[in-house]
Chain A
Amino acid sequence: MNREGLEVSDQPALSSGRRFPPQLVPPACLLGALFLFGAFFYFFGGWTLSAPADLTICNGDEPQSLDPAIVTGQLEGRICLALFEGLTTRNAKGDIIPGMAQSWDISPDGLTYTFHLRPGIRWSNGDPITSADFLNSWERALNPATASQYSYQLYYLVNGEAYGTGKITDFSQVGVKAPDPSTLVVTLNHPTAYFLELTSFQTLCPVHLPTVKKYGNDWTKPGKMISNGPYLLKEWRLNDYILLEANPFYWRPVPIHRIKVLPTNNATACLNLFYSKKTDLIIDKTSIPPTLVPDLRDKSYFHSNPFGATSFIRFNVKRKPFDDVRVRKALALALDKKDIVDKITRAGEPIANTLVPPGNADYKPPEGLSYHPDEARRLLAQAGYPNGQGFPDVNLLYAARGSGTQVATEMQALWRRELGITSIHLRGQEWKVYLNTQSLIDFDLCLSAWVGDYNDPQTFIDMFVTDGGNNDTGWGDPQYDQMLQTSEMTADPIKRMQILRDMEKILVEDQMPIVPVYFYVGMSLYDPEKLGGFEPNFVDDHRWGEFYIPGHKP
């Protein structure tokens, strides 16, 4: 083919080809649009180049709110407690230390707490902090109109529950008074050994009410929020980052000036960020994939600590066959918990034979039932199901997220292996549906967990009071209820712990409405040479104001 010849004879086409080819118009437009687009979003799409932070923390997920009265989650709580501070706070070890209150007096009956505020304390805008700020903030947290899901943390106050549930509307009847700007007097319903832990919790932190009133729901935004804790909110981009800066009006200097909080919720991305040194601390255990824990455990940057939370199984004692305590005990005795923590959860969780996790030095837990398959088979035969024969069809409810499915499958297999029960059916549900089913007690067995609100056995034991809001087993025992009342009235801490111990014995040895499975552990990743002030503590509560960079400690 004579190409040249053809081209010569193709004059008209060739000349039109010298124009801008019309076919290229759409791609050219697209390219132009893209440039404009790029320029536009360079300014509006969040490509902000914020100042570098001294510490970057992977916090697990985007906080649902930063209003201390509203938040309930641990990851929200961590940021809130960097921004706000209650009457008491915690040191790196997790011990309660004075916060906004310099000191306090407790009446001999344990009912009246008189807090003396630290002199000269100020909000991040310079306003003085007075006892009225606490009084009004507690009123706000309790007020049903605020709809705080944790308002029950203030039910310990005289008339707290009545005000919180709208039975009374006069807040002056509630057991908190501010006789002068630096004194706060709190009256409790009954002696509450852990009350000073509660005052360090975010729900009881003060908020700057003029700001809340002025901005309404918007007051937690950067530039608007006024806080009283070690840090103030500098920037907050949804799902992107939160930047905290040291609060110049905080009562003591904090070692780290700027903290950047990443809400990365993908465990792999978190690990990648850590390995590429884009984050210094992975603080949330959900950010560490369980499958990698066996490899990570020996590394110098892997840290784990016991943590006040328990995984357990709820029985529906209103349904056959779990209305029979022998069957409940048989299932408990046959469960090889070590198998579950070794094979599935794998973060070094201790197996649990009691509901209350170890960690409170004053509490001596009962023995509980350990792994005894022979005894289990004997009890099951006694109950009329020798070798699992004739065992009715039952379901095992669990939340299909995390390792829930694997744990449930393993339990099903263990009970088949030890007891010959083949009629336990798995029933995995989406989280919100699971919560619904659990609260309706529409299950036979239910894989559950409980995280303690404070470091005291009470937060676990009082769940199982008859028809308690979080009981969810149908189980109840008047003697148990009576003991709970007695324990609440008991001012003597040793006696109180004994009563709680006897109550737990009923739960995990005699009646078994539940089977404890394992205690959770907290896990975190950081290089101890680059971050100090992060010490393992039982409440898994690490105050960011305690953090320092070794070698830079002021």
Chain B
Amino acid sequence: MTAIILRRFLQAIPVLFIVVTLTFLLVRAAPGNPFSTEKKIPPEIMEQLEKQYDLHGSIWHQYLQYMGKVVRGDLSISTQYRNRTVAEIIRQALPVSMTLGAVAYFLALTFGVTFGAWAAIRHNRAGDRLIMLWALLGISIPSFILAPVLVMLFAIWLDVLPVAGWGSPDQIILPAICLSIPFAATIARLTRGSLLEVLQLDFVRTARAKGLSEDAVLFRHALKVAILPIIGYSGPAAAGILTGSIVIETLFGIPGIGPFFVNSALNRDPFMTSGVVLVFSSFLILFNLIADILYFVVDRRVKLE
């Protein structure tokens, strides 16, 4: 298994290389200059700026300069935040997003699986209908609607939670809930669907026929099989949820990495964009690997390739 994991890590290198290449070239090829402002910069200064950032010469020259730095572990300096390196920004912002994401992820899994399983057991009864309605709403209501509504309810009217900001544990509650709801809803639907299917299978009937309690059938046998699609979904979802959300982090004023995914591209900051894309792709590869390992652990029929 170690060999397989090692091989997957080695495979990740060319993937990340291609991703960074495409990102950098696309940002540089897009119209607009990272340094342009409403007031024109004297050409001599622009030249200096581009030289300082190794953004002069042909796009290939710029690309090679950048890749040379990346290989040496230097993600360069942000063109938007001129006193900060990209690595420094990621170092400050990523843990914040990960903290928030981990809480949200935990909420999503707990509530998603619990409600999904419950809905499956209560198939076609009121509880099921209610949960599925909630799940449908959770998936379809965008977070930029949900977040202000929850803020108004809990922070303004009831005044029990802070409206925005970061720095104390109570400030994590509302954003974590907002962030987790669409994931929880998806997981609930997946769990329900998968569990319903599994409960029809022969081995469940056998287990019941052998006289196992319904709890034992459900928790020890059925759920173990039904959980597989959730593992498949949760891997990439974890990468997404841990690297922050632009909407949630902007609405709650959270100093995470989410907004950089969009703003760095709008600011035409090639280094910042490549940096955050690198982080996200690494997470995606890592969590897909973890999901595969979990598949393997839970279901011995799966072979790690």
Contact = CB atoms under 8 A, between A and B. Distances in A.
B252 A41 contact: no
Nearest to A151: B45
Nearest to A265: B250
Interface string B152-173: 0001100100111111110000
Contacts of B213: 3, 6-7, 10
Nearest to B84: A238
A47 B250 contact: no
Contact of A41 (B89, B95, B155): B95
Nearest to A6: B211
Interface stretch (A61-69, A412-420, A519-527, A531-539): A61-69
Contact of A65 (B83, B156, B266): B83
Given A165-B44, A430-B266, A37 B83 contact: no
B32 A430 contact: yes
Interface in A26-56: 26-27, 30-31, 34, 37-38, 41, 44-50
Interface in A241-274: 241, 262-266, 268-269, 272-273
Nearest to B252: A269
Interface in A417-463: 430-433, 435-437, 439, 449-451
A278 B42 contact: no
Nearest to A7: B213
Given A64-B81, A65-B81, A272-B155, A432 B268 contact: yes
The residue among A13, A31, A70, A439 with the most chain B CB atoms within 10 A of its own CB is A13
A62 to B, nearest CB: 8
Interface string A452-486: 00000000000000000110000000000000000
A218 B88 CA distance: 11
A144 B44 CA distance: 7
A21 B220 contact: yes
A276 interface: yes
B219 A21 contact: yes
A30 B99 contact: no
A351 B172 CA distance: 45
Contact of A269 (B77, B109, B251): B251
B140 interface: no
B44 A166 contact: yes
Contacts of A319: none
B32 A147 contact: no
Contacts of A144: 44-45, 48
Given A30-B106, A147-B45, A164-B44, A276 B80 contact: no
A164 B213 CA distance: 84
Interface in B1-44: 30-42, 44
A10 B48 contact: no
A45 B166 CA distance: 10
Interface residues of A, number: 76
B266 A431 contact: yes
A414 to B, nearest CB: 25
B169 A149 contact: no
Contact of B251 (A6, A266, A450): A266
Contacts of A278: 162-165
Nearest to B106: A34
A34 B36 CA distance: 44
B33 A149 contact: no
A145 interface: yes
B224 interface: yes
A6 B207 CA distance: 12
Contacts of A470: 39-40
A451 B277 CA distance: 35
Contacts of B102: 34, 37-38, 41
Interface string B101-115: 011001001100000
Interface string A4-17: 00110110010001
A125 interface: no
Interface in B66-103: 77, 80-84, 89, 92-93, 95-96, 98-99, 102-103
Interface in A199-238: 217-221, 237-238
B162 A276 contact: yes
B232 interface: no
Contact of A272 (B42, B164, B167): B164
A30 B113 CA distance: 14
A435 B32 contact: yes
B166 to A, nearest CB: 6
Contacts of B148: 268
A217 B253 CA distance: 27
B31 A10 contact: no
Interface in A68-84: 70, 72
Contacts of B33: 432, 435-436
A46 B169 CA distance: 11
Nearest to A149: B41
A65 B35 CA distance: 13
The 9 A-B pairs at the shortest CB distance, nearest first, are namely: A432-B32, A239-B255, A240-B255, A272-B163, A41-B99, A469-B40, A147-B48, A264-B253, A165-B44
22 contacts: A3-B213, A7-B213, A9-B211, A13-B212, A23-B223, A38-B102, A45-B96, A45-B98, A47-B169, A148-B45, A149-B45, A165-B42, A220-B83, A239-B254, A275-B163, A276-B163, A431-B32, A432-B268, A435-B32, A437-B31, A439-B36, A470-B39
Given A45-B96, A272-B151, A272-B156, 10 more contacts: A10-B216, A46-B166, A50-B167, A64-B80, A72-B37, A148-B45, A149-B49, A238-B93, A241-B167, A435-B33
